[in-house]
Structure 1
Amino acid sequence: MKYRSILLISLLGAASSLHAATVSLASTMSGDSYISEDAATGGFGMIRLGNGSLGTAGANTGDADAIYDINNLGQANPGSPLGTTIDLFPRETSFQVGSLSYDETGLTGVGTETVAITSFDLSAFWTSDPARTNGAPGGPPTVISDISDHALGLWFFDAPGGISFGSLDASDTLTFTNGQLTSINLAIPTTFTVNIGTELAWSGTFSVTGNQIAYLINDVQETFIGPSTLTANLTGTVNAVVPEPAVTLLGSLGALLLLRRRRCR
């Protein structure tokens, strides 16, 4: 009886896992996406300022997309970098971001259907790098994520810190039209932290609306040298989302092709 119970639990677990599905958040980001901080470092990094090269053995010397003088924010040819340049966005505009999970039980693939997002994994967007505080500007990172934690450490004086995310709620959903993912509705809080003797925690939002993804922070924290504003403006398009007009067009083309085949008979 004991073994039957174990077998039944195993089968139920396997059956429930079959209904779990994931959506990739791999995205094409705007080259104008940037992060800046105006007091403690006075610097900024922007994706399009890099040249797309990681350099020798992945060293941080190859792609100079940060740290530049904040007074040159948005200019194609900024002034002299502050200290050393770093590769903040190693994947350039091709962000992997992570994935969303949902339960596909009950989805029919017909019409418009909306399901709740059950969990998320954003470790490809940012993940902690043990080499963050190694103090070696030319040293290679030990992990790769869309925003390099190794580079953030170099930017913020080898200080500990990182990016964290809040939790989902009932409004975070996925919409499918005739089986195609046509919209994501997601908004979760995010915090960008750095401990430079005192912990600074700038707050913002990570969101996807339709097929538009955004990591946005514009927050002020008090430091020993005055107020510090951290701005993150990272925007792009989620590759897996097919806008509803495109799905409708594909359906119409399919219907026309089917009608043509019938007439040809």
Structure 2
Amino acid sequence: MVPGVLYFLAFHYGALFGNFIAFKDYVTFYGVWDSQWIGVDKFADLFADSDFWQATWNTLSISFLQLLFYFPAPLALAMLLHSLTSDTIRRFVQSVVYLPHFISWVIVVALFQQVLGDVGVFNGLLANGGLHTVDIIGNPDAYKPLVIAQVIWKECGWGTIIFLAALAGVNEQLYEAAAIDGAGWWRRTWHVTLPAIRPVIILLLILRLGDILTVGFEQFFLQRDAVGPAAGEVLDTFVYYKGIQSGDFSLGAAAGLMKGVVGLILVYAANKLAHRFGEQGVYRSS
């Protein structure tokens, strides 16, 4: 566990120290302590920036689509894998669907461009058939469905691990009793499977809500220029372009801190709501 603990201490907890520059006019030559303290002025600049609100809207809309389409996908795939009777086939399918997780976003985006780009395989087939080609990669209207499809293809298999572990703990006698009572596949799923793994589903949903303002960086950074900032800018790329590339590190830190505070509030509120419905959530309240 030591390497993992050191990683989180250095790059997550240790990095929290950098939030101080959100309240300073940070200049790299002066350092954190000697830069001028300006209070919440950078937050005022952030909220007055129209690009920030556009990036926030794009982030929220993509997060909503991920909750709607991506979040249930690993659960459905896990239930499908769990229903396979052959262990050999199950292990083979699991190995295949896990593989895209280990492919970098650079390769994934390149693959989609080769298939759906202007000169990709799909448009090549349309052109050979005498049909009009479609610009999917560079179309701002198709951008959000495209990135959701990419996430599902890349991460759906990896996301099944926790659900498969939860499904393995379901008592098989419950399925047998339900089948004897005449319950079909759908009723066994609704009355046995989903109630048994409901705590895991709620836990993962709460954690996902905490990351609602974080949809990733590489995937969107690589495709932002193809559709333009109006459609492709998210908060993570906003922090890079406004905070790092433009040299306004304090503004970028303010945006990052704002994301963290909103995520904390959402996790706390969702956890309280889970307690009201009798679920444990992320933690038990005293």
- TM class by shorter chain equals under 0.3
Bigger fraction of residues in helix: 2
Query: Which structure is higher in RCO with an 8 Å CA cutoff and minimum separation 6?
Result: 2
Q: TM-score, normalised by structure 1?
A: 0.22
